Amino acid sequence: MKIKYDQQVDAAYLTLETAEIVDSEEVQPNVVFDYDECDRIIGIELLSVKRNIPNLLELPKLLSSITETHRNFNFPAFFNFLVKTADLNLIDNEKARQRIETAKLSLGKTPTTLRSPQDSLEFIAK
């Protein structure tokens, strides 16, 4: 899984597989799944990332019913991305804010969790 984040537009793209996109679907506000010709999810576009941290924490549940996609989704790397990206002042959900705040404090003590050399996090448009 590769994550690219554009800070200027506060949008991220998660590449789960490399294939041609033939269809896209907004599955919930600010979350768009991209599909290949076999109707598999190959990418996920996340809009307004900083304002949607609580909803994005639920993304693994949304993906859990899709076994081939769930296999390629690296939740620890995704969670670390959300923690690094989060602006605590923009998180209205108290439980999510506490979870992210706690993780921000401990993140400096642990490296970003990437499962393999194919997993990466890239911040762009600084």
pLDDT score, position 62:
79
pLDDT score, position 93:
87
Q: Nearest 5°: CA angle at 109, between 112 and 90?
A: 70
Assigned token pair, 41: 């999810």
pLDDT means per 10 residues, the chain with 126 residues, are 90 93 94 93 93 88 69 82 88 88 76 46 50
On whether the CB atoms of residues 11 and 49 are closer than 8 A, the answer is yes
On whether the CB atoms of residues 78 and 3 are closer than 8 A, the answer is yes
Bridge partner residues of 35 (DSSP): 23, 41
